[in-house]
Amino acid sequence: MALLARNDPFFRQLHIFPNDQRRCFQFRGKLDMLENYNVGGGALKFNKPAARLNLTLKSCFEDSRRTWNHKTRAFASQLARDLQIITYNEPQKMAKLAIDARGTCQRGKPLDFPNKPAVAVDVDEVLGNFVSALNKFIADRYSLNHSVSEYHVYEFFKVWNCSRDEADIRVHEFFKTPYFKKGIDPIPGAQRAIHKLSRFCNLSVVTSRQNVIKDHTIEWLEKHYPGLFQEIHFGNHFALGGESRPKSEICRLLGSKILIDDNPRYAVECAQVGIRVLLFDYENSYPWCKTQSIDQHPLVTKVHNWEEVEQQIESWILSSTIL
């Protein structure tokens, strides 16, 4: 039996309703070191006399004044049970949940929530800062001094004032340099949010990146987001060779209910086939996201940081919108 970490804010507050500031769940209590407990035949045994456990979970579902639909009740009830204790079938074995500095689960059994929605996540400008690293390379190699604010479209040849083929060649040169291999950092807040979302969503990467950088992309994801994505798919867009695959096609094959992406073109493409899209415009700083028509699509919601991503997905789950 392994007990959940007491300092994780996810367990202190799962969701706050937009118009109701009451917490849906509150986690209270003191949690002693897991080494103080042993598992035997499904019972919790204390290894030390001084060890003690005081754990309570308060649910707003006890409030009869609020009525929820059946699907949401079932999901949240299971969520409440799973948040208290994770049970293991191996008797007499010490069960520990080790979490490293990044919050990544190293040992223990992951939470298993019913009806986990499938969520597709883009890489560049959503998980990592691709454009700023590319722009540094272009400035140093070609003496083209642009600011990121000038990248009003994802078609780089229009920014660099060259042909489409020449732009593709420059990008592939970028792939071979330290600017790409070592210069792309995670977007602020993404690591914490992805780890949190992985507990109640089935996350997969759906990127337009080319097949020639597949291995490095997988290595980068394992370094910064270890074990958090179930599948990784490449669209092979803007490639020098090989076939490309539309993101909408990949998402449909995955059964994705949500796509998190920064490209308006992909957002519209996926929304048109019934996929909800969170259009990621970090701190309102992506000029290529400033398209008025995209804001009017009912299945596209613009978000400006990873906290807003979490809040929107949690809201959809608890309202049964995507279950």
Q: Which of 32, 100, 124, 215 is catalytic?
A: 124
Question: What CA–CA distance (Å, rounded) separates 311 from 239?
Answer: 35
CA-closest candidate to residue 286, choices 122, 74, 91: 122
CA dihedral sign, ordered 112, 113, 115, 121? negative
Pairs from 246-250 (Cβ < 8 Å, separation ≥ 24): 247/120, 247/206, 247/208, 248/272, 248/273, 248/275, 250/120, 250/206
Distances 318 to 88, 168, 310 between C-alpha atoms, Å: 27, 43, 12
Query: Half-sphere exposure (CA, 13 Å, Cβ side) for 205?
Result: 25
Q: Is 281 a catalytic residue?
A: no
Strand partners, 170: none
Judge contact between 146 and 159, C-beta under 8 A: yes
Question: What CA–CA distance (Å, rounded) separates 243 from 78?
Answer: 43
Q: Which of 82, 100, 122, 261 is catalytic?
A: 122
Q: Is 124 a catalytic residue?
A: yes
Classify residue 149 as exposed, middle or buried by CB count within 10 Å of its CB (0-12, 13-18, 19+): exposed
Catalytic residues: 122, 124
